[in-house]
Amino acid sequence: MATTRPARLDQDTVLAVAEQLVAERGWDALTMTALADELEVRPPSLYRHVDSLDALRNALRLRTVVELGDAVRAAVMGRSGVEGLHALTDAYRDYARAHPVRYLAQALLPGDAASREAGRRVGEAAYAVLASLGLSADELPVATAQLAALVHGFVTLELQQTIDWMIDPDAAYHGLVELFAEGLRHRLLAPDDGDGQARRPGSSS
């Protein structure tokens, strides 16, 4: 990785170069010594901008979650229903595939308050889309968790190259999302426990 020494070192520059190093060499290659070499500074100089290697990794994790939240929120803007669901899940997968090392690594790091708060932005986008499909407020938390497991599971398997190469991953992914949407439709139209009336989208009964 070739970098040009910045005229003035700051935290944004340190994070940007760390992100590039991780993308090109892998998560385990990120050390304070390697980062200092890329920035052409002595390792102690980095501690003016980051407290430790763990703090640097957590900052990259937060950066990943914030960017992912921004991506999915932008994707679903003005969209709803199944179209919104595909926009959400496609944006999530596209971001993960564009930043595979950071995406996989962030799931292995312990969460903190800042990352959980940033992660809520992804959840808010999912809530909005699922609500537009007719789920009630009481149903949204479970449905969002199910959707997260579906999307994260597929994306992780894809990035780890454990999905059979003979299948079409795009078709498999979109088909899985359609199955999820069909399951929601079935749930919404299932007979009510009480009077046997079918639930309709938007009903909370």
Domain for residue 194, yes or no?
no
Whole domain around residue 22: which residue ranges?
11-46
Is 177 found in the same domain as 131? yes
Q: Indicate the pLDDT class of residue 191, thresholds 50, 70 and 90.
A: low
Nearest to 23 by CA among 90, 94, 103: 103
| Average pLDDT of the chain, as a whole number | 86
Return the C-alpha torsion angle 19, 22, 28, 31, nearest 10. Answer: -50
Is 154 found in the same domain as 81? yes
Domain total of the chain: 2
Q: Judge whether residue 196 has pLDDT over 50.
A: no
Q: Judge whether residue 177 has pLDDT over 60.
A: yes
**CA gap 161, 201 in Å, rounded:** 38
pTM of the model: 0.82
Q: Judge whether residue 205 has pLDDT over 90.
A: no
CATH number, position 28:
1.10.10
CB-CB contact of 202 with 134 (8 Å): yes
Name the packing angle between helices 140-159 and 81-98 (round to 10°).
40
**CA gap 112, 127 in Å, rounded:** 22
Domain for residue 197, yes or no?
no
Is 130 found in the same domain as 105? yes
Is 76 found in the same domain as 40? no
For 82, half-sphere exposure in the C-beta direction (CA atoms, 13 angstrom radius) is: 12
Kind and range of the H or E run holding 107 = none
Amino acid at 15: L
pLDDT in tens, 40-53: 999 888 888 889 99
Of 49 and 107, the one with more pLDDT: 49
Q: What token pair was written down for 91? A: 């944006």
